[in-house]
Amino acid sequence: MARMVRYNYVIGDVQGCFAALKALLKEIRFDPDQDFIWFAGDLVARGEDSLGTLRFVKKLADYGAAATVLGNHDLTLLAYARGIKPIKDQDNVRDVIDAIDSDDLIDWLRKQPLCLFPNPQTILTHAGIPKLWDAAKTAELAQEVGTVIAHDDFEIVDAFLNEMFGKEPSLWSDQLEGHERIRCIVNYLTRMRLTDAAGRLDYSFKDALDDPMPEGFKPWFEFESPAAQTHQILFGHWAALQGQTITEKIQNVDGGCVWGHQLMAFRLEDQQMFAIDNPVA
């Protein structure tokens, strides 16, 4: 029998800000027996308690009250955990790596998708969806990545994690193969902010919409979107947007909590946004 859900909330980048997450859930009166949370990725990284956040979200997911997509910081944590990449000073995730339940947490995390459908009319990814793909294509390509990251053979997992970091190819082609293909999908779904008219990625810009952008590039959502013609697109990743409604069909949910701003929850049933200030900022 299907679980009856009262409210569905989409929560933006927590980034280990566990105190803020608990405060937000109190604000929206979240009830795990009746409500469901869809996390937009970047569960961990620069907040005060990545380990507590990851344990809590996994517990909610195991209970059937939450799901998450992977963000770029989540993928980086996988590389840290596998010894592929040294931990950056600003990433507060050593406690996750050293935890007694680290293997369980990392194994759970690597099996999470890059794309989810909170309902038939809504699609969620960490960074958005480029003009090049419709919703079905996005789900198909996200699954290609998921198959590699969640593979039972860690030689396959580690081989990709070794090749995951890089800016090329910066333009999607259906003819891409191997690690280049998977890296390109990951970059669109977890790192994208600006593209040019062809769909080529820019990685340098992280600022607000009224700041000067590289010549020839615009926010990905300013191009006509096949995905937005059929679905409402929800995304995080871009903290400078601070939960801005882009159009009726495109909604940001990243309030920049880890940067001293807000953690946000967008309720799907009535399109209402809830926000709380980071109590430890």
SS3 of the chain: CCCCCCCEEEECCCCCCHHHHHHHHHHCCCCCCCCEEEECCCCCCCCCCHHHHHHHHHHHHHHCCEEECCCHHHHHHHHHHCCCCCCCCCCCCHHHHHCCCHHHHHHHHHCCCCCEEEECCEEECCCCCCCCCCHHHHHHHHHHHHHHHCCCCHHHHHHHHHHCCCCCCCCCCCCCCHHHHHHHHHHHHHHCCEECCCCCEECCCCCCCCCCCCCCCEEHHHCCCHHHHHCEEEECCCHHHCCCEEECCEEECCCEHHHCCEEEEEECCCCEEEEEECCCC
Residue-level pLDDT at 73: 97
Residue 220 and residue 195 in contact, taking contact as beta carbons nearer than 8 Å? yes
- pTM for the model stands at 0.96
* Residue 162: both structure tokens together: 């070794």
Could you report the per-residue pLDDT of 66-93, keeping only the tens digit for each? 999 999 999 999 999 999 999 999 999 9
Checking if the pLDDT of 9 tops 90, the result is yes
Determine the pLDDT at residue 3. 61
Which residue is it, tokens 């193969």?
Answer: 177
67: which strand partners?
38
280 falls in which pLDDT band (50, 70, 90)?
confident
Separation of alpha carbons 35 and 4, rounded Å: 9
Model confidence at 1, pLDDT cuts 50, 70, 90, reads: very low
Q: Specify the CATH architecture of the domain 8-277.
A: 4-Layer Sandwich (3.60)
For the stretch 149-163, pLDDT in tens is 999 999 999 999 999
The pLDDT value given to residue 251: 98
The pLDDT tens digits of the residues spanning 197-229 come to 999 999 999 999 999 999 999 999 999 999 999
User: How far apart are alpha carbons 199 and 103 in whole angstroms?
Assistant: 37
Q: How far apart are CA 271 and CA 279, in angstroms?
A: 25
Q: Which two tokens stand for residue 88?
A: 């950056």
